């Protein structure tokens, strides 16, 4: 075994490279005396708008972005929201937190995203919204959902900044886009952060109100909201990172291409099947995730060889204790359940080197070759 480990993810080199710019931003905020919302957050929102072409509203984290977007659409008790079971908990948790019912539709086994036909088939008169997730940086087929459903589509774009479908950015196709700025995300803060995007001005305004306890003026509250504000410090540091996001995204795509070429060259197409990016979609590889034969044994093998791989996600949401009351059973959503047994995310972050990708591929090839 070699002692130069390959971590699943690392920020060390990125922070070192940006250190002078980050320190400038940090000092600017320290000296400003304004630490929550204010000019830095407004500038960040403007810069996101310039990037994505739609207005943005900063909030405290991606989970709140989902909650506030759904609240802005008046999702509440008695409503149903159709979503995917193969995602992070917050997606469906936000629906339940508002007293509504998450209705899970199965995923496409190749794209790992909600199957649009199955999602549309779950629509009933009680369906208030559809909430697709752009998993691992690949957009769900949002254009098809928007065409097929008359109500609002809320995009969980937590993992998908700069991903696109049909030339349209994630977060701009549906009614609202919800983004996370968690430190490991493609655009990551130095703590929690999030934002929403919306073409509909009234929804952006509603989230602006709701993030400040439903206030329209100081101490004048027109509805129940919460405290979900973005810190000025996070916004200032994010503005530094935002300038590099396109280049980092290109690098992620190049690294993913390198993995794919490596697997093909080693004849591993059967054993290791990467997430499929359909024609017309551009993925941003928040994760490089494959379906792997004998996944758990491969995971142990990689760990033993110093490679940090990760399982996103080991449990489908419909089988978690938190959603037991919804009545799903093992076998209810077979494609998602199988993905939970097979999916494995390999190291990918912009500072990773091609040579490290090649080494991961070699280690995987050795696993499937078996004992010499």
Ligand X SMILES: Cc1ncc(COP(=O)(O)O)c(C=O)c1O
Q: Which CB sits closer to ligand X, 182 or 259?
A: 182
Distance CA 3, CA 7 (A): 12
Using CB under 6 A as the criterion, what x/- string covers residues 89-128 for binding ligand X?
-xx-------------------------------------
In 70-224, where do the E strands start and end? Answer: 80-83, 101-104, 127-131, 154-156, 164-165, 168-169, 176-180, 194-197, 215-217, 220-221
**194 binds ligand X per the rule CB under 6 A:** yes
Residue 189 beta carbon to ligand X: minimum distance, rounded to whole angstroms: 9
Nearest-CB residue to ligand X?
A: 62
Counts for the chain of helices (H) and strands (E), in that order: 12, 15
Residues 188 and 22: beta-carbon distance below 8 Å: no
**88 binds ligand X per the rule CB under 6 A:** yes
Residue span binding ligand X (CB under 6 A) among the ranges 9-17, 60-68, 102-110, 331-339 = 60-68
**# chain residues binding ligand X, by CB under 6 A:** 15
Q: Which of 236, 195, 174, 260 is nearest to 49 (CA)?
A: 195
**155 binds ligand X per the rule CB under 6 A:** no
Residue 134 beta carbon to ligand X: minimum distance, rounded to whole angstroms: 8
Q: Which two tokens stand for residue 100?
A: 């509504």
Q: Which CB sits closer to ligand X, 87 or 234?
A: 87
**62 binds ligand X per the rule CB under 6 A:** yes
In the set 41, 45, 48, 61, which binds ligand X (CB under 6 A)?
A: 61
Residue 232 beta carbon to ligand X: minimum distance, rounded to whole angstroms: 18
Q: Which CB sits closer to ligand X, 87 or 345?
A: 87
Q: Which residue has the tokens 């690949």?
A: 138
Residue span binding ligand X (CB under 6 A) among the ranges 155-163, 200-208, 335-343, 349-357 = 155-163
**228 binds ligand X per the rule CB under 6 A:** no
In the set 6, 41, 59, 158, which binds ligand X (CB under 6 A)?
A: 158
Element (H, E) at 40: helix 39-52
**Residue 219, number of CB atoms within 10 A of its CB:** 6
Q: Which two tokens stand for residue 304?
A: 């033993």
| Residue 291, SS3 per DSSP | strand
Residues 122 and 82: beta-carbon distance below 8 Å: yes
In the set 169, 182, 285, 313, which binds ligand X (CB under 6 A)?
A: 182
Could you give the count of Cα atoms lying within 13 Å of 46 in the half-sphere of its Cβ?
Answer: 7
Could you give the count of Cα atoms lying within 13 Å of 268 in the half-sphere of its Cβ?
Answer: 24
**63 binds ligand X per the rule CB under 6 A:** yes
Residue 130 beta carbon to ligand X: minimum distance, rounded to whole angstroms: 15
Distance CA 42, CA 38 (A): 6
**159 binds ligand X per the rule CB under 6 A:** yes
**195 binds ligand X per the rule CB under 6 A:** no
Positions that interact with ligand X (CB under 6 A): 61-63, 87-88, 90-91, 133, 156, 158-159, 180, 182, 192, 194
């Amino acid at each position: 075994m070699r002692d130069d480990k390959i971590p699943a993810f690392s920020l060390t080199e990125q922070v070192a490279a940006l250190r002078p710019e980050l320190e400038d931003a940090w000092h600017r905020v320290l000296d400003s005396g304004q630490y929550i919302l204010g000019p830095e957050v407004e500038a960040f929102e403007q810069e996101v708008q310039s990037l994505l072409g739609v207005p943005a509203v900063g909030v405290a984290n991606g989970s709140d972005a989902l909650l506030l977007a759904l609240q802005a659409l008046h999702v509440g008790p008695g409503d149903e929201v159709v979503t995917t079971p193969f995602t992070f908990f917050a997606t469906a948790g936000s629906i339940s937190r508002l007293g509504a019912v998450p209705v899970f539709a199965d995923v496409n086994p190749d794209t790992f995203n909600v199957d649009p036909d199955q999602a549309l088939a779950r629509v009933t008169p009680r369906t208030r919204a559809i909430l697709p997730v752009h998993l691992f940086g690949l957009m769900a087929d949002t254009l098809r959902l928007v065409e097929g459903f008359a109500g609002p589509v809320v995009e969980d774009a937590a993992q998908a900044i700069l991903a696109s479908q049909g030339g349209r950015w994630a977060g701009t196709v549906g009614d609202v886009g919800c983004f996370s700025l968690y430190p490991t995300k493609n655009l990551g803060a130095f703590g929690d952060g999030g934002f929403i995007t919306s073409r509909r001005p009234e929804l952006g305004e509603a989230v602006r109100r709701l993030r400040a306890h439903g206030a329209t003026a100081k101490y004048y509250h027109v509805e129940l909201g919460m405290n979900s504000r973005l810190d000025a410090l996070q916004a200032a540091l994010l503005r530094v990172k935002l300038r590099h996001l396109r280049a980092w995204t290109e690098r992620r795509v190049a690294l993913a291409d390198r993995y794919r070429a490596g697997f093909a060259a080693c004849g591993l197409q059967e054993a290791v099947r990467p997430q499929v990016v359909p024609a017309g979609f551009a993925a941003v590889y928040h994760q490089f995730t494959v379906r792997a034969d004998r996944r758990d044994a491969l995971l142990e093998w990689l760990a033993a060889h110093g490679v940090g791989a990760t399982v996103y996600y080991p449990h489908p949401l419909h089988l978690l204790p938190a959603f037991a009351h919804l009545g799903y059973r093992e076998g209810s959503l077979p494609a998602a359940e199988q993905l939970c047994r097979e999916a494995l995310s390999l190291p990918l972050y912009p500072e990773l080197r091609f040579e490290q990708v090649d080494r991961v591929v070699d280690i995987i090839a050795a696993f499937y070759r078996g004992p010499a």
